Every structure is written in C-alpha cells, then in structure tokens.
Amino acid sequence: MQLLTSGDSTITRKLLFSPQVSVIAALALCLVSLLITTQVFASDSADPGRSSLITDMAAGPFAPITSTGWITNSANGHRYKEIECSSFAACETNAISESAHLVTINDEAEQIWLITTFGAEANRWIGYSDAETEGQWKWASGEHSTYTNWARGEPNNYNCDQDHALMTLYFGVWDDIGTCDAQWSSTTQAIIEKDEEPTWIFNPANRHKYKEIECAPFAACETIAITESAHLVTINDQAEQIWLVTVFGTGFNRWIGYTDVVTEGQWGWVSGEQSNYTNWAPGEPNNWHCGEDHAILSIYFGGWNDTGTCSPDFSSVTHAIIEKPAQISLDIGKQVYPDPVPAGAQLTYTIRVTNTGDVSLNGMVTDTLPSHVMPTGIQTWPVTNLAPGHVWTQFIAVTVTPGYSGTLTNHVLVTTQEGASGEAQVSVKASGYQVFLPSILQ
C-alpha cells in the first residue's frame, strides 16, 4: 500500500518500510489494542457482570437518526419510534397511549435494524421484564420470543431486583437494571413499537366498518374511538358476534362498548344503540369482588365478561374493537362529443364512476345505448375494488345512423355489492344532414 506521496524522501521511505521499524510498530499497536480491550471489558466495580464501557461511555459507535416520528421496518411492517420517558412503567404507559408497547426484539435482524436506525448513543428501555416472576423474562407486548442479546454475564440481578432490560449504548447489548442502579434515573429514552396501521374492515351485512386498536382502559378506548368518529363496538345480534370472532379472532381480550357504570345492573351501549342481544359467558356478569362495570369480548370463544379495576384481567386488556357506519356513495359523470353530431358521424361517450365514500366498491356498470347508433344495445363492465377517491373510466365510440335526425339518449346504471348505486343519462342532438368528404380527405 502506498503510504507516501511522490515528494517524500528516499530515506523516509526506507525508514518506514524497514523490517525493524515494522516489527516495532506492530508490537506497539498490539500493546495499545490490549490496553483498550482490557479497559473496555474490565468488570465494573459496582456490577461484576457489566462492561465498564456501558456505564462510562458518553456516546456509542452508532450515530442516531434525526426523525422523531414513526419509522416503518419493511422487513416486518411494524412501526417504531424513540420517545423520552422516565422509567420502564412510564415508558410503557406512554407507549400504550399511542396504541403501542415498548419494543419487542424477536431476532437478530430486528436487533441490527434497531441499532442501524436509532443508533446506540444512549441507554434505552426495551419491553423485557421479569418483574412479575423473578427469572421469567417476558415482553410487555405479550409476544413470545426466545431471542436475547444480553451482555456477557447478564442478566445477573446484581445488588437489587434488576427486573427491567435496557438496550445499552455499547453496541446495543442488553443489561438488566433496577432502582438501585445509576442507570435507572439516567435512562430517559425508550423505543416503542406497534403493528402496521390497522385498517377498517367492512361488514357487508350491516354496512358498518370495524377496526381493532390497542388502548387501555375502557374510557381511553372510547376516547380514541370518538376521535375517529366511531364508538367501541355495539354487538346487535348473533350474526354480528360470529362475524367479529371470525374476522378478529380470539387472541386477545378486547373492550366492547357495553357498560353499567351509570346505573349498576342496567347495561347499555356507549354508542346509544338499543339492543337486547347478549353473549355473556356462563355466570356473567357477576360484579365479582368490586364494581365490574365494563364488558370485554374474551379469549374464551368470544364470550362476554364483566371486569373492573380490581379484576385480575383488567390491566391486561389492552385491545378494543371500534365501529362506525360506512360511508357508501358514488358519483356518475357522463360526457358526449361532439354535440350536436352530424348523422353518419362518430360519437364518443365517456363514463366516469367516482367512489365518493370510504369503502372500496365492487359492482357493475350497465350502459344502454340509443337505437340509432352502431353498435347499439346494452353493454356492461365490472368494477372491481374501486378504492375511495378513485375513478373508473370507460370510453364508448359509436356511429350515428346515416340520415337520422333527432335526440340520442344514453342511460347508465351503476350498482355495487356494498349498496351504493346511481343512474345518469345524457342526450345529444343528431342532425339530419350527412357529411360526405371527398375520398382524398377520408
């Protein structure tokens, strides 16, 4: 490798590349590396299992990103964000308020993505904890993952109950800490995570839309629903109950909009709808132990259960289903050119169907052409998955019957599976004269 420029002296070149100097330089480099490695991996006097670099370094080797919003990981479709918060519990509370959790790290690829994306310039809370049962580490999201990235000797529960995990500033390896650790008060950042943005799902039976959200408790879920012009779900009959369980499954206990918080024993829906249908689990509602004033769609085949702040499952209910009527509408545009049109000339109709609602449309367009054009009769076209705000367009070219004079009226009918429909017609005058062009101009 050329280390010197063309202007360096021959003596300098010989000195640098002499065998004696090369050996000395190599030995010196090894000695420096050994000293650095010893310093980096020396056991901290306060915690034998923790690298001193974890506690002493002011900055890690990775530069952080500058974004403060949600960032999508294309590998799993999940979204992540760095937040500032004071403790594990406070960070998880903040995460839940954003329909998220402290991050769950499922594999090495996700670990690398997090470090690459957010850097390693600070200790950060992650969602790993054994606060519930010592030694049984669990993710706050409820996900199950066997992947770990503990630093050497961790977790060691050193000196006090170290029940929560950090992703440290030393290359992102994990460390357990507790309230007796200096890092407890100095760790003021966390990474939170949530699934792909939930989408509304259309129920064609009642023309309502439904969405699952992460939230807690009941009141907070209803507040979130209202911000989306919705309410916690109202279940009106067995068909709707079956549809909900079929579509959303029973992987979580979920809040529904049923409560007797106003008057004990008088259950009603927060949407204001009136329904006599119930699907209580056997023995429910029982108002067990305290005021159980809110209903959940439980993991046990979707049976309903009443729960309250003293109930064992109250704090674990972090999902809800919200509902609102779908906006199902369309607009039909119809144009014709030219107007008027000479007999024997070509006439072009343009049909435009615009989805002006908020659910995709699937249906059929039927065009009834006037009698005095060719081709004539009825033509049909399918409309498939026309998204809200999108436009379906069709051009129809016909020729006016030679010698015809009168009104040509075209009629369009649009029907959809979702219930939106519409009709439109357009008329044009046909003149009785014909335009004959010399053959050279035809």
- pLDDT band per the 50, 70, 90 thresholds, residue 4: very low
d(CA 51, CA 410): 81
**Which residues are CB-neighbours of 250 under 8 A, at least 6 positions away?**
297, 298, 299, 300, 301, 302
281/323 Cα distance (integer angstroms): 22
Terminal C-alpha separation, the chain = 77
d(CA 411, CA 378): 10
Give the pLDDT confidence score for residue 423 in this predicted structure: 97
Q: Domain check: are 57 and 186 in the same one?
A: yes
Q: Is 297 helix (H, G, I), strand (E, B) or coil?
A: strand
Q: For residue 44, tell me if it sits in a domain.
A: no
Same domain, 373 and 436: yes
Q: Which of 179, 194, 209 is the C-terminal boundary of a domain? A: 194
- Which of 292, 310, 325 is a domain's end point? 325
Band of residue 416 on the pLDDT scale cut at 50, 70, 90:
very high
Q: Using the predicted structure, report yes or no on whether residue 192 has a pLDDT greater than 80.
A: yes
Residue 258 in this model has a pLDDT that exceeds 90:
yes
pLDDT of res. 46: 43
pLDDT tens readout for residues 55-72: 333 334 444 444 568 899
Q: Within a domain: residue 22?
A: no
For 379, the 3-state DSSP assignment is strand
- The token pair that represents 85 in the structure block: 């918060």
pLDDT confidence of residue 343: 94
Say if 278 falls within a structural domain: yes
pLDDT tens digits, one per residue of 261-290: 999 999 999 999 999 999 999 999 999 878
Do 268 and 344 fall within a single domain?
A: no
pLDDT at 408 over 70: yes
Domain that holds residue 107: 52-194
In whole angstroms, what is the distance from residue 242 CA to residue 153 CA? 50
pLDDT at position 69, please? 85
Q: 371 in the Ramachandran plot: left (φ > 0), alpha (ψ -120 to 50) or beta?
A: alpha
Q: Are residues 334 and 321 part of one domain?
A: no
CATH for 133: 3.10.100.10
Q: What is the mean pLDDT of residues 44-51?
A: 40
Q: Is residue 46 part of a domain?
A: no
The number of folded domains in the chain is: 3
Residue 433: predicted pLDDT: 57
pLDDT in tens, 78-116: 999 999 998 999 999 999 888 789 999 999 999 999 999
Residue 214: its pLDDT value, please?
85
The pLDDT confidence band at residue 216, using thresholds 50, 70 and 90, is confident
Question: What Rg, from alpha-carbon coordinates, does the chain have?
Answer: 35
Supply the pTM of this predicted model: 0.59
pLDDT at 68: 63
